[in-house]
């Protein structure tokens, strides 16, 4: 028999933080549960989907030791309590759980903790520390460009290069590519790993509420991220990432500078009337004016807008999938952006202007063939 007292709000907040890893349907019923591991006043709670495991640690009032798994139904129960101390009394042999509140008593049944997958130790790791704000920014700026491609699993994650003096994060789906670089101190020798979209998304949600240092440990198969009282450990994607550097055009003589918000608003309006399959928007640039055009002959609809810009280069017409441009502009926060191009059939390169302190962000978007 083990017993502990915990604040209902604290417990709810921590369960919600880690519950994102649980799938709607699981291959193993035990993955619908949280593992509670009590060690006197320290309560460790785990959630897992086999590939990724998250642990959070909270302080409780207890002198006992023991473990139990509790169904995720507990979250629904906690949502309906006003903040108050709850007393958990657990029969670790029959897996019976009794919860006592100010107003009543509730009984649910847990399961055998032995069946719950254990958190993997990252053996012989390389390690580094990053500010949570830096890692959060890197994930936010790249994750939208990750591919949903079961045939090329390496592209369904963020390629993370941890160097001695800088970190680089890359994501691409072959239509768009984002490279995010940032200087750091105290990294190991350069290593690269591919971290799947799901753990990166979970990490994004965890870090949003934490202003702290994140300790990163990784080897060839697993990575672990520790921020304050939360640890996330995940299996890495195995394989060779495509040579992303080779597709970034180096010589782009045509340079267009635009107000990001104005360009974004114009694109949103014009793209509504673009072809529903190609989402094509045509950019026609001459002197210091940009004309955006879209059309959908099937519905006899078209849009045309003109805006001021700064432009250095030859007059040019180029087509892009408006959805890709909208995503990129929406994930930048600079006042202006620079679009660099060479020819209408080569990728355009978007960079914030100016780059934020310490950040080096480059976004690449493939053009679409213009139908004249």
Across the chain, which has 372 residues, the per-10-residue mean pLDDT values are 97 96 92 97 97 97 96 96 96 96 95 96 92 94 92 94 93 96 83 96 92 93 96 97 94 95 97 94 93 93 95 95 96 95 95 90 93 64
Counted residue by residue, the chain has a size of 372
Give the pLDDT confidence score for residue 231 in this predicted structure: 97
pLDDT of residue 372: 61
Q: Which fold has domain 249-368?
A: DNA Polymerase III; Chain A, domain 2 (3.10.150)
Structure confidence at residue 369 (pLDDT): 85
Q: What is the DSSP string of 171-233?
A: EE-SSEEEEEEEE-SS--S-EEEEEEHHHHHHHHHHHTT--SEEEEEE-SSEEEEEETTEEEE
Do the bridges between strand 254-259 and strand 310-312 make them parallel or antiparallel, or are there none, so unpaired?
antiparallel
* pLDDT for res 164: 86
| Cα–Cα dist 77/327, whole Å | 38
Rounded Cα gap, residues 218 and 54, in angstroms: 15
Which residues lie across from 2 on neighbouring strands? 90
What per-residue confidence (pLDDT) applies to 177? 97
* Cα 302 from Cα 291, distance rounded (Å): 13
**CATH architecture assigned to 126-245:** Roll (3.10)
Query: Could you say which architecture CATH assigns to the domain 2-115?
Result: Roll (3.10)
- pTM equals 0.92
Range(s) within the chain of domains with CATH label 3.10.150.10: 2-115, 126-245, 249-368
**Element holding 9 (H helix, E strand):** helix 8-19
**Residues whose CB is less than 8 angstroms from the CB of residue 323 and which lie 6 or more positions away in sequence, other chains included:** 271, 279
Q: What per-residue confidence (pLDDT) applies to 356?
A: 85
List residues bridging with 69 in a β-sheet: 35, 111
């Amino acid at each position: 028999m083990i017993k502990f007292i915990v604040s209902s709000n604290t417990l709810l907040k921590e369960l919600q933080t880690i519950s994102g890893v649980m799938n709607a349907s699981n291959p193993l019923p035990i993955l619908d549960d949280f593992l509670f591991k009590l060690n006197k006043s320290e309560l460790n709670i785990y959630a897992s989907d086999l590939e990724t495991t998250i642990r959070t640690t909270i302080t409780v009032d207890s002198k006992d030791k023991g473990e139990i798994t509790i169904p995720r139904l507990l979250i629904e129960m906690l949502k309906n309590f006003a903040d108050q101390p709850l007393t958990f009394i657990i029969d670790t042999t029959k897996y019976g759980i009794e919860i006592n509140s100010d107003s009543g008593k509730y009984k649910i049944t847990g399961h055998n903790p032995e069946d719950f997958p254990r958190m993997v130790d990252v053996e012989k790791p390389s390690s580094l520390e990053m500010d949570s704000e830096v890692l959060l920014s890197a994930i936010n700026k790249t994750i939208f460009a990750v591919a949903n491609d079961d045939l090329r699993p390496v592209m369904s994650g963020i390629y993370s290069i941890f160097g001695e003096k800088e970190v680089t994060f890359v994501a691409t789906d072959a239509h768009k590519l984002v490279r995010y670089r940032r200087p750091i101190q105290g990294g190991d020798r350069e290593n690269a790993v591919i971290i799947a979209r799901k753990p990166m998304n979970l990490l994004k949600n965890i870090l949003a509420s934490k202003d702290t240092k994140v300790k990163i440990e990784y080897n060839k198969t697993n990575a672990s991220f520790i921020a304050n009282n939360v640890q996330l450990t995940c299996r890495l994607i195995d394989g060779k990432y495509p040579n992303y550097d080779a597709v970034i055009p180096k010589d782009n003589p045509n340079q267009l500078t635009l107000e990001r918000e104005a360009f974004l608003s114009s694109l949103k309006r014009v793209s509504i009337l673009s072809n529903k399959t190609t989402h094509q928007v045509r950019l026609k640039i001459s002197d210091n004016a940009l004309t955006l055009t879209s059309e959908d002959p099937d519905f006899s609809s078209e849009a045309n807008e003109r805006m001021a810009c700064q432009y250095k280069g030859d007059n040019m017409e180029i087509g892009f999938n408006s959805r890709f441009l909208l995503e990129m502009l929406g994930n930048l926060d600079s006042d202006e952006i620079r679009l660099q191009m060479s020819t209408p059939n080569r990728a355009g390169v978007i960079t914030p202007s100016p780059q934020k302190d310490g950040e080096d962000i480059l976004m690449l978007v493939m053009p679409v063939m213009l139908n004249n």
